[in-house]
Amino acid sequence: METARPSLTMGPVYYLWDSAKWRDFHFRIADEAPFERVVIGETVCSKRQHFIEPHIAEVIERLENAGKTVLLSTLALVTLERESRLIRELARDSEYMVEANDLSALGLLNGKAHSVGPLINVYNSATARLLAGRGACRICLPPELPFSSVKRVIAETPGVDFEVFAFGRMPLAISARCAHARSKGKIKDNCQFVCGDDPDGLPVKTLDRQSFLALNGVQTISHTCQALLGELPDLAACGVSAIRISPQDCDMVAVASLYSAALDGAIGADEAVDKLRMLYPAAPLSNGFHHAREGAAWVARARDTAQAG
Amino acid sequence: MELICPAGTPSAFREAVDAGADAVYCGFRDETNARNFPGLNFSRDELREAIAYARSKGTQTFVALNTFMRAGDEEIWYRAAADAVALGADALILADFGLMAHVAEHYADQRLHVSVQASASNVDAINFLVDAFNAKRVVLPRTLTIADIARIAPKIRCEIEVFVFGGLCVMAEGRCSLSSYATGKSPNMNGVCSPASHVRYRKEADELVSELGAYTINRFATGEAAGYPTLCKGRFDIADERGYAFEDPVSLDVMGEIDALTAAGVSALKIEGRQRGKAYVAEVVSTLKKALSAKADDRPALLAHLRGLSEGQKTTSGAYEKRWR
């Protein structure tokens, strides 16, 4: 069977970057990166909203002028009335497709074409089909899903475009408590936006100095960087419609170009992995979840070596 | 106010019923529930007997099927739901939308409760599950303050159950893959967190080191009480600071806030601890039952002696109190 080449989606920036950096980053992505669609909007902490708000319109315009489809991301954890209001307005008024990251957004988007983000628990096709029946036309599957599940969900859910989280530190947990603020002697309510000091996350090491996790405000992310490169042919073959690239504080235009070349078969998997390590040296690569192992694991595949070159 | 009590074994179940539980919750002996630990949980026959015993004492039985169905193996969860319904469960506690849809479609009369693992943390989320699956009750995630609960209660179209005592998840429940990141096994997919199969203790000089998978979770000096290496309760280094990065080894206790929770519109209080022994269950359930009917002034004395049973013997009101954030 001829398989379509998956396109590239850039996920929302999970980190607090200062306004100008956030804007300029998206401008460059618009102008230079081979993404078909770009998801923007604060996803992790509603307190950060005002940092990007002044620039959202110009970023959308720049992305659209470059021919990219824009989606707006909703918050992952919604507890305050102010946060609920934000999502109600977005669900009701947005002229751009909205990507749901919590249950309230799923509820409010019923009957409207929408996207489902990787922070929603879609573990099986019964769930995917239910969401599709309510208007979900794109679903980015959770990073925790093994390939056996990815394959199955896609095969059993026709009519939905599926994405797989293929680059970036993985979102592993979210809390009402801000461990990031607390690590700097603050609490969430008077955090003074200390998470802005760590645009790629704040490392959490074990007492034996093993790099383990990283903090991003109320979100806990992996120390390792998910890297599905050798796995791209399998993902394409099982019908994955787009590869999701989650922004880190590195040259994301180069990362996107690398994934694009790997999807085209213009670069072998081993070489792509070597190049990715140079582009994002801050974190070791992992693909364990995909291979039904611990998420931090790196599974090298002999087949890739055989096919390379 | 209902008291909802845990049972990991048939004997703990009886103790909970005898101690005055309004309902006991439990699960089958497999990955369909979030306490899939060796030696715990119920066979079909054991559940049948447990439900009969509970009925005879006027106690309800809730069956937790609160993990997420593994693609391709949905039949395991569907069969568990069918059996729980046939055995007479008073409610099913569910987290997976696919399973909720299945139960709502095939067993329309079955009472459906939303598990804490579903992470329904606000009005729109909860009403979505009420409208879509006819959910009758939501177990709120431990991310809300009592003031938050009071604000949402009048606007939602189902009952509210909250955790008041026992283990405390720091992360939004059902949205945490820290455990599988380190071990390959997660609450959502396998019903386990920081599983014992991946725990190792080793002696190093005069320290005891606890490990989960390949990672050090804590180090204890001689004489220091060594807790279980639950990932989010470990000690880590962040920059130059060493400490409990996410949460101290504490457990949840908000029984002191019974009146505030009642006023907020909560209709059921839930005790965590299906992995606990029957003596613990009996003690906690009977004390909390007494506390519920006691006058506010008499409660502190009743509750004080429970502290000794708590993890690390230190307690917190968790997210129910704003400064915890």
What confidence tens digit (pLDDT) does each residue in A20-60 have?
A: 999 999 999 999 999 999 999 999 999 999 999 999 999 99
Among B173, B172, B193, smallest CA distance to B183 is for B193
pLDDT digits (tens, 9 = 90+) for B261-272: 999 999 999 999
> What's the pLDDT at B321?
84
**Considering only A154-158, A280-284, B31-35, B156-160, which range has the smallest mean pLDDT?**
B31-35
Residue B212 near residue B180 (C-beta atoms within 8 A): no
Residue contact B177–A172, C-beta within 8 A:
yes
Residue A302: helix, strand or coil by DSSP?
helix
CA-CA-CA-CA torsion sign (A37, A106, A160, A168): positive
CB atoms within 10 A of CB B240: 5
For B171, the closest chain A residue by CA position comes to A175
CB-closest option in A104, A289, A296 to B124: A104
> What's the pLDDT at B315?
81
Phi first, then psi: what are they for A195, rounded to 5°?
-65, -20
Q: What number is the average pLDDT over the span B62-70? A: 98
Residue A41 near residue A105 (C-beta atoms within 8 A): no
Q: What number is the average pLDDT over the span A80-91? A: 96
Strand partners, B316: B252
> What's the pLDDT at A309?
33
Residue contact A295–B181, C-beta within 8 A:
yes
Domain with CATH 3.20.20.70 in chain B: 2-168+250-324
pLDDT digits (tens, 9 = 90+) for B135-187: 999 999 988 999 999 999 999 999 999 999 998 889 999 999 999 999 999 99
Phi first, then psi: what are they for A72, rounded to 5°?
-110, 125
Among A238, A84, A59, smallest CA distance to A149 is for A238
Q: Which of A110, A206, A221, A289 to mutate to test the interface with B (most CBs of B within 10 A)?
A: A206
Q: What number is the average pLDDT over the span B219-239? A: 93
> What's the pLDDT at A16?
98
A61: which residues sit within 8 A by CB, 6+ positions away? none
What ipTM was predicted for this assembly?
A: 0.95
- Report the relative pairing of strands A211-216 and A242-245 from DSSP bridges: unpaired
- How many pairs of residues across A and B have Cβ atoms under 8 Å apart? 228
Residue contact B148–A204, C-beta within 8 A:
no
Q: What number is the average pLDDT over the span A109-115? A: 98
> What's the pLDDT at A302?
55
A170 to chain B, minimum CA–CA distance in Å? 9
> What's the pLDDT at B256?
87
> Is residue B320's pLDDT more than 90?
no
The structural architecture, per CATH, of the domain B2-168+250-324 is: Alpha-Beta Barrel (3.20)
Residue contact B172–A144, C-beta within 8 A:
no
CB atoms within 10 A of CB B295: 6
What is the maximum span of chain B, computed from C-alpha positions, in angstroms? 61
> What's the pLDDT at B314?
79
A207 to chain B, minimum CA–CA distance in Å? 6
DSSP A35: -
- Which DSSP string do the residues of A98-127 spell out, in sequence order? EEE-SHHHHHHTTTS-EEE-TTS---SHHH
Residue contact A212–B118, C-beta within 8 A:
no
Residue ranges per structural domain of chain A: 7-307
pLDDT digits (tens, 9 = 90+) for A232-277: 999 999 999 999 999 999 999 999 999 999 999 999 999 999 999 9
Among B266, B254, B234, smallest CA distance to B310 is for B254
CB atoms within 10 A of CB A5: 12
Q: What number is the average pLDDT over the span A276-293? A: 98
How far is B57 from B17, CA to CA, in rounded Å? 7
> What's the pLDDT at B318?
85
> Is residue B232's pLDDT more than 50?
yes
Q: Compute CA A298 distance to the chain's CA centroid, rounded to the nearest angstrom.
A: 19
> What's the pLDDT at B310?
61
Residue contact A124–B323, C-beta within 8 A:
no
CB-closest option in A84, A212, A292 to B215: A212
pLDDT digits (tens, 9 = 90+) for A185-237: 999 999 999 999 999 999 999 999 999 999 999 999 999 999 999 999 999 99
Better-scored residue on pLDDT, B301 or A124:
A124
B244 to chain A, minimum CA–CA distance in Å? 9
**Considering only A274-288, B86-100, B295-309, which range has the smallest mean pLDDT?**
B295-309
CATH class of the region A7-307 = alpha beta
User: What rounded mean pLDDT belongs to chain A?
Assistant: 95
